[in-house]
A and B are shown apart, each in its own frame.
Chain A
Amino acid sequence: MTDTLYREAILDHYRNPRNRGTLEPADFTYEDVNPLCGDEIRIDVRTDGENVTDVRFSGRGCAISQAAVSMLMEMVDGRPLDEVKAISREDLLDELGVPISPARMKCAMLGLKVLKAGIYGVPPSDDSL
């Protein structure tokens, strides 16, 4: 059997995405695309100022980008914002648990990029953070 990128955990998140949907209203919403493949991800976050109280993602993409963002949802839901800010690409790669080639790195990291842009896009002095 060939080693596969598509191990069961990734396929499970792809088929049964966690926290899929949108939040109306949300404390912040951010979306971005991967111009190489047209993948689109939007993330909506609600926060009480200290913790992520609810989070949803929507969009479309390959199994790697969709599974990675679904895993990311589990990593951040209910977590303190400071900890969410500290999540690194290595943390997410550990969660994915398969070697991601340079060509697929953008797919794997799209969700994290969107989340971070959303969080940092809100000025630190803003009361909603």
Chain B
Amino acid sequence: MVTTRTGNAVDWVRIRDEFPILASTGPGGQRLAFLDSAASSQKPEQVIAAVDRFYRETNANIHRGVYDLSERATAQYEAARHMVADFINAASAREIVFVRNTTEAINLVAQTWGRRNISAGDLIAVTTMDHHSNLIPWQLLAEEKDAHLEAVRVTDDGRLDMEHLGELLAKGPRIVAFPHVSNSLGTINPAAEIIRLAHDAGAVVVVDGAQSVPHMPVDVQALDADFLAFSGHKMLGPLGSGALYGKLALLDAMPPFMGGGGMIRKVGLTHSTWADVPARFEAGTPSVGDAIGLGVAVEYLQAIGMDAVREHEQQLTACAVDRLRDVPGIQLFGPDDPDARAGVLSFTLGDIHPHDVAAILNEENVAVRAGHHCCQPLMDRLGVVATTRASFYVYNVDEDVDCLVSGLHRAQAIFAS
């Protein structure tokens, strides 16, 4: 039985009922089994209401406004920053920069810390299982600076090859970038160990937390991460919300990302000085209502408790793995050990193209993703063009697994006949 941090049992069906979109049905009246939370999560009533309330009651531009509305909007925006900081146990709310998503957060680091600190011949280490958003920004930087990019290999069971990591670290990379949890395989990487080894090798570490922060307890101080990027919209928050965590000393020494209003201290026609962090990295009017919605999403997750979220997803995943193994022709990717796997299941079904699998599941109102999951190098490594991916979150229940499994049997039947 999963319990909250206050010791009460979690009623997962009640939680599901708090997500209005999950009450919708398919053309044949089928319930919606939403299994694509790794791409973007659904939003609970509380988050939707908070964004709605912001535009009805508090909408105004933030900072510098001296009227009540602007002061209230500013206070709510900054309160959300504190909630996000508390959620990942940042030492200070100043270490949280609001961005649109993980991609923007990583580009911010590459274009500021990276451009200032990387020079010709330097090594940047990434992994073969990185999402394109934690690969392309480093490719662009390496190209611009004439630096080298090398990727840690992935083992046959979908883990990082720690021996190969050691070999790359011995070459003294300036940056080590890796995903805390693989969005394609669900692999939970040993983040604390990787960070410790990378620090010993003198690297700055950029953690892609897009698939970990929404789904398990993440403590940036315990991890000792230098940067952690994550998306609010994958953790029950509004689309357009996300955050970058950076250690204050690192952020403080970084030049601005984008130029404009809000990020300056004093502006002259030919020279200007920059605001303190995090304002230095938030040029222009931010997506205030979305950040406030993210704060409410964080409160929602904390009320459940991240240990309970992780346990719930682990149970669903274990149950799904067991039942998927009975589907003829299925090949599951990623680690077998349930402790090393988040709520992400990537698979192929015989030689049926993943698009066809997903289309047949869609006919049963089961929403999954099919494709390369923005991980083309990983697909090459696995020797597949694409996979079908089901991913779980707080609002999923056993019945969603039933729908997935029966949909896969139907796909088998259609293509086998």
Partner-B contacts on A (CB < 8 A): 2-6, 11, 36-38, 60-64, 104, 107
Contacts and interface: CB of A to CB of B under 8 A. Distances in A.
Given A37-B371, A37-B386, 6 more contacts: A2-B28, A3-B27, A3-B28, A6-B359, A6-B415, A62-B354
B360 A107 contact: no
B360 A6 contact: yes
A6 B363 CA distance: 10
Nearest to B352: A63
Contact of B355 (A2, A3, A11, A64): A64
A60 B355 CA distance: 12
B356 interface: yes
A62 B356 contact: yes
Interface in B314-369: 352-356, 359-360, 363-364
Given A4-B363, A6-B414, A38 B372 contact: yes
A59 to B, nearest CB: 11
A36 B414 contact: no
B371 A11 contact: no
Contacts of A36: 371
Contacts of A2: 28, 363-364
B415 A11 contact: yes
A3 B363 contact: yes
B385 interface: yes
Nearest to A4: B363
Interface residues of B, number: 19
A38 B414 contact: no
Interface string B19-53: 00000000110000000000000000000000000
A11 B415 CA distance: 7
Contacts, number: 49
Interface of chain A, main secondary structure: loop
Interface of B: 27-28, 352-356, 359-360, 363-364, 370-372, 385-386, 414-415, 417
A60 B385 contact: yes
Contacts of A5: 359-360, 363
A38 B385 contact: yes
A50 B206 CA distance: 61
Q: Which 8 pairs from chain A and chain B are nearest by CB? A: A62-B353, A62-B355, A38-B385, A63-B356, A2-B363, A62-B356, A6-B414, A2-B28
Contacts of B359: 5-6, 62, 64, 104
B198 to A, nearest CB: 33
A67 to B, nearest CB: 10
B178 to A, nearest CB: 25
Contacts of B371: 36-37
A38 B386 contact: yes
26 contacts: A2-B363, A3-B28, A4-B360, A4-B363, A4-B414, A5-B359, A5-B360, A5-B363, A6-B360, A6-B415, A36-B371, A37-B353, A37-B354, A37-B355, A37-B370, A37-B371, A37-B385, A37-B386, A38-B372, A38-B386, A62-B354, A62-B355, A63-B353, A63-B356, A64-B355, A107-B355
A104 B355 contact: yes
Give the interface centre of A5, A6, A11, A64 by most chain B CB atoms within 10 Å.
Answer: A6
A64 B352 CA distance: 11
Nearest to A15: B415
A3 B27 CA distance: 9
B284 to A, nearest CB: 31
